[in-house]
Amino acid sequence: MELFNTLSQRTEPLQPLNDEVTLYVCGVTPYDTTHLGHAAINVYYDTLIRFLRAEGRSVNYVQNVTDIDDDILRKAREQGMTWDELGRRETERYLDDLRALNVLPPTNYVRATDEIPEMIAIIEKLIERGFAYEREGWVYFSVASDPTFGALAEAGGYEGYATWLATANERGNTPNDPRKRDPLDFVLWQARQEADEPSWPSPWGQGRPGWHIECSAMAMHHLGPQVTIHGGGADLIFPHHTCEIAQSENATGQRPFVQIWMHCGMVYLGEEKMSKSLGNLVLVRNLLKTCSADAVRVLLLSHHYRDAWQYIDADMRRSAERATRYAAAATHAAASDTSKAEPSDIAQQAHQRFYDALNNDLDTPAALHVLDDLAAAAIHGDTAQATALRELGDILGLRLQA
């Protein structure tokens, strides 16, 4: 299998360091309901995992939930709830939506608040090695201390310090913080500011971790200092994933932290990407009131994972019709005696085309075209192709039920 590596900007062979493929995907901040952008990321990586396992590979998949964050604190206050109560409620809703979409659970689903000791240990190493500093109970990573900082950002289209600073400022950075040596230095640990704010003890006083250190700690704790694939949305290239590299590699001294950076394109509604902060959302649970999970998966998989795309109702209807054709063909075949079906050359060729498509940077649109051909033959009684349709549909996470 070959996958596009954002850092190198080329397609590279998937070559795990050992017999196990390790995969870490940045999950949600649980303060609102799952939208189609969340669903797309999960379905793409779910398909990758299903395919790797179908090829006989062992996969250790970790996804996190950022269950402590400024947005969670704000939303909890608005709703008159405790921050952890809101986080638990929204996390369960998120997991319910993924189960409804037939997304397999990760090997480990990790909450940031369960990993505070690991975060503190990494921060201590960074301070000891001269990559971080403490001021008034706050700890910052010094970007000037790392001459390789920003390589992923540059590869992903964020060119130069001025662009980095402007982008970071849009995404929560506080450039005028008087405690910082450099406006771009990012927070590893922040001191408690309000009496009712959740906090944990640390060598620097009561406080809580910064966003970026959470994922470094969770990935390395559960997968080790080097990860085969690190995934997430393309909007995380900078600053989040760029900062993860700086923290992780300078804490452990092992490079690269990640072999293949695998980023998914954004899903748009109108002119803007779907965003909880903007409120321009297509909610998964609303979509599933009128469409099957197969229909939603077909819609998502009809787009290559790296492409940005816009949600349109007409595309959803066409995907529902396509999923219905698959299910009708599979149901028709199920009524026949498929146990007597002999593997045909055409069915074997379909398998090869399907595997070739997914081995080629997870080309799910091409894989769906194989299912189109199989369904057309299966509906006319070709039981061998019907069997292939069910087997390959399962790799795409399709239930193929009438």
In the sheet that holds 267-269, the strands lie side by side as 272-273, 267-269, 309-310
- Residues 288 and 103: beta-carbon distance below 8 Å: no
**Sign (positive/negative) of CA torsion 323, 58, 254, 204?**
positive
Q: How confident is the model at residue 334 (pLDDT cuts 50, 70, 90)?
A: low
What does the pLDDT look like over 66-123, one tens digit per residue?
Answer: 998 888 998 999 999 999 999 999 999 999 999 999 999 999 999 999 999 999 999 9
Sequence-distant (≥ 6) Cβ neighbours of residue 13 within 8 angstroms: 1, 2
pLDDT of residue 343: 60
Secondary structure in 3-state letters for 161-175: HHHHHHHHHHCCCCC
Q: What is the pTM of this model?
A: 0.95
Q: How confident is the model at residue 340 (pLDDT cuts 50, 70, 90)?
A: very low
Higher pLDDT, 402 or 338: 402
Listing DSSP states for 168-230 in one string gives: HHHTT--TT-TT-SSTT-EEEEEE--STTS--B--TT-SEEE-HHHHHHHHHHHHH-SSEEEE
Q: How confident is the model at residue 341 (pLDDT cuts 50, 70, 90)?
A: low
- Going along the chain from its start, the domains and CATH numbers come out as 13-269 (3.40.50.620), 314-396 (1.20.120.640)
339 has a pLDDT exceeding 60: no
Q: How far apart are CA 346 and CA 366, in angstroms?
A: 17
Q: Which two tokens stand for residue 369?
A: 């075209």
pLDDT of residue 335: 58
Mean pLDDT, residues 348-372? 97
Q: Report helix, strand or coil for 21.
A: strand
Q: How confident is the model at residue 333 (pLDDT cuts 50, 70, 90)?
A: low
Q: Nearest to residue 250, comparing CAs of 208, 211, 298, 216? A: 216
Distances (CA, A) of 222 to 21, 30, 63, 108, 118: 13, 21, 10, 8, 11
Q: Report helix, strand or coil for 94.
A: helix
Query: What percent of the chain shows pLDDT beyond 90?
Result: 83
- Residues 395 and 57: beta-carbon distance below 8 Å: no
Half-sphere exposure of 315 (CA within 13 A, CB side): 13
Listing DSSP states for 325-381 in one string gives: HHHHHHHHHHTS-GGGPPPPHHHHHHHHHHHHHHHBT--HHHHHHHHHHHHHHHTTT
Determine the length of the chain.
Answer: 402
Q: How far apart are CA 327 and CA 322, in angstroms?
A: 9
What does the pLDDT look like over 124-162, one tens digit per residue?
Answer: 999 999 999 999 999 999 999 999 999 999 999 999 999
What does the pLDDT look like over 302-313, one tens digit per residue?
Answer: 999 999 999 999
Half-sphere exposure of 171 (CA within 13 A, CB side): 18
Q: Is the preceding peptide bond at 239 cis, omega within 30 degrees of 0? A: yes
Q: Is the preceding peptide bond at 343 cis, omega within 30 degrees of 0? A: no
pLDDT of residue 169: 97
pLDDT of residue 342: 56
